[in-house]
Amino acid sequence: MSDEAASLDPSDWATFRNQAHALLDDLITHIETIRERPVWQPPPAASQERFRQPLPHRERDLASVLGDVRTHIIPYATGNLHPGFMGWVHGAGTPIGMLAEMVAGGLNMNCGGRNHIGLHVEKQIALWMAEALGYPGTASGVFLTGSSMANFAALTVAKVKACGPGIREGGLGEFGGRLTAYTSVEAHGCITQAMELSGLGSANLRKIGVDASGRMDVAKLEMAIEADRSAGLSPFLIVATAGTVNTGAIDPLEYISEVARKEGLWFHVDGAIGALAAFSPALRPLISGIEKSDSVALDFHKWGHVPYDAGFLLVRDHAAHKAAFSNSAAYLQRSERGAAAGETWPCDLGPDLSRGFRALKTWMTIETLGTDRMGDAMLANCLTARYLSEKVQRSPIFELKAPVSLNIVCFGVRGADGRVNRELVLDLHESGIAVTSWTRIDGQTVIRCAIVNHRTTREDIDRMMECLADLAIRRCPESRE
Ligand SMILES: Cc1ncc(COP(=O)(O)O)c(C=O)c1O
């Protein structure tokens, strides 16, 4: 075989160019006309079957592969681009992000390290987030898949800071079973998982009770820390949440920061949902106190609408961050010049070595839209959530199930069993009109609308509520009264 024949590039660049342009056009049209299609539809049997084929040994014409993409993939996506999608906290993406993914794919950079522009773009994002959240410019930041990983990485940094770098080699040793962390009962499950993965054990995570608005009760937090100290344990970390997954509640960050300072504990904020509210001057006061934290986990792929995935960890103390992850392996050695130059690489700040160019899609999105416009879109979501909550409160059929702090509205059919709410959500999915999710509040299953999408308007809320009311009357005719 000749060297040329071994190349995986197209043999006919002109044909490839035409196919690529047509695909880009199709995707732009897909986003432009997203309202004209159902929010969600299940992949039909034929499409599922398409992905149960044996490993292909022979090459196939790209045009035919793209035919499969158009027929079997594009119509059966998650649905989160559509303004009727109010299910889980999913970003809606933007066409800018799509272009950025194309550039990143075209350049195929490995952003784990070495001396190239990708690392500078990533540092730019850390600088921007430090500015937005009130951290010093010396803070360090790193992209990770999402906040599950960012929270885990933050816990790891806090653990190494509390126990000293020797724990990396020696393991927990004398600290085994003694390190305790604190979060609220409303915290995301990934905090529990981070305790499990880190070897600290989820039994050593104290889940502090919340007030009527779903915010951590600081007096209970202080009591729990004191009880653990009296029992000879070693409290090391408080994880507050800025925007809980169930209701969007924001823990009292200022008060929690004071407790953390007084007790000498690492103060981490899970800002997966709410940290980017810093972009909106109207919403920024809600997360006041975040600037006093030691670290923040956040997701650009949620309210920032950067294409999946784009989680981020910001750490105030760069040295503490690096001390948890840096690695002196021979194949990662740095040089004073050339392609291996540089002091700190992203692989020194997290568990990933090879990693893509998440910074580009984040940079292009923020650089193009600007934080004012992005913040205004978040504020619009919160106002739409308030509109929905008022509509629910006026409804003879539905009632509100939790206070609305940000952009998440939980409600249900008045007086109905929680199972009815769950069935209604599934009926709604199958209608193609809207997608909401369900969750449990005070032990009861409720309908949950997370209004994250920058395309969602009040008319979309009206359409969804009309549909839900029809479905509710069909399921429980007595709810008409
Ligand atoms: C409050 C909170 N923390 C963490 C996560 C996990 O984030 P990711 O899905 O990006 O891993 C979520 C996800 O919805 C969340 O809502």
Encode pLDDT of 138-194 as tens digits. 999 999 999 999 999 999 999 999 999 999 999 999 999 999 999 999 999 999 999
Instruction: Write the DSSP string, 373-438.
Output: HHHHHHHHHHHHHHHHHHHHHH-SSEEE-S--SSSEEEEEETT--HHHHHHHHHHHHHHTS-B-EE
pLDDT of residue 480: 60
127 in helix, strand or coil?
helix
* Residue of 188, 192, 295 with the most ligand 1 atoms within 8 Å of its CB, for mutation: 188
Q: Which residues line ligand 1 (CB under 6 A)?
A: 89, 146-148, 188, 190, 241, 243-245, 270, 272-273, 299, 311
Q: What are 339-376's pLDDT values in tens digits?
A: 999 999 999 999 999 999 999 999 999 999 999 999 99
Looking at per-residue pLDDT, the higher value among 70 and 476 belongs to 70
Q: Enter the pTM of the model.
A: 0.96
Instruction: Report the nearest atom of ligand 1 relative to the CA of 245.
Output: 16
**Alpha helices for 264-357 (secondary structure H):** 318-325
Q: Summarize the confidence of residues 109-136 as an average pLDDT.
A: 97
Residues 90, 39: Cα–Cα separation, whole Å: 13
Instruction: Report the nearest atom of ligand 1 relative to the CA of 146.
Output: 10
CA of 79 to the centre of ligand 1 (A): 18
CA of 475 to the centre of ligand 1 (A): 33
What Å distances lie between residue 45 and 40, 42, 49, 50, CA to CA? Answer: 16, 9, 6, 9
Residues 141, 298: Cα–Cα separation, whole Å: 11
Q: Summarize the confidence of residues 213-241 as an average pLDDT.
A: 98
Residues 209, 224: Cα–Cα separation, whole Å: 10
Packing angle between helix 13-32 and helix 95-107, nearest 10 degrees?
Answer: 150
Q: What are 410-432's pLDDT values in tens digits?
A: 999 999 889 999 999 999 999 99
CA of 147 to the centre of ligand 1 (A): 5
Q: Summarize the confidence of residues 49-64 as an average pLDDT.
A: 97
Question: Given a cut of 90, is residue 76 above it in pLDDT?
Answer: yes
Report residue 479's pLDDT band, with 50, 70 and 90 as the boundaries. low
Report residue 101's pLDDT band, with 50, 70 and 90 as the boundaries. very high
What Å distances lie between residue 196 and 168, 306, 313, 419, CA to CA? Answer: 16, 29, 19, 32
Q: Summarize the confidence of residues 379-403 as an average pLDDT.
A: 97
Structure tokens at 439: 């969750």
CA of 188 to the centre of ligand 1 (A): 7
Report residue 330's pLDDT band, with 50, 70 and 90 as the boundaries. confident
Percent of the chain with pLDDT over 90: 95
Q: What are 36-55's pLDDT values in tens digits?
A: 999 999 999 999 999 999 99
pLDDT of residue 329: 87
Nearest Cα residue to atom 12 of ligand 1: 272
CA of 29 to the centre of ligand 1 (A): 30
CA of 182 to the centre of ligand 1 (A): 18
Report residue 477's pLDDT band, with 50, 70 and 90 as the boundaries. confident
Pairing of strands 234-241, 179-184: parallel
Average pLDDT, whole number, for the chain?
96
pLDDT of residue 475: 85
Report residue 478's pLDDT band, with 50, 70 and 90 as the boundaries. confident
Question: Given a cut of 60, is residue 481 above it in pLDDT?
Answer: no
Residues 159, 152: Cα–Cα separation, whole Å: 10
Q: What are 253-295's pLDDT values in tens digits?
A: 999 999 999 999 999 999 999 999 999 999 999 999 999 999 9
Tell me if 103 sits within 8 A of 360, measured CB to CB.
yes
Q: Summarize the confidence of residues 309-328 as an average pLDDT.
A: 97
* Residue of 273, 305, 312, 406 with the most ligand 1 atoms within 8 Å of its CB, for mutation: 273
CA of 3 to the centre of ligand 1 (A): 47
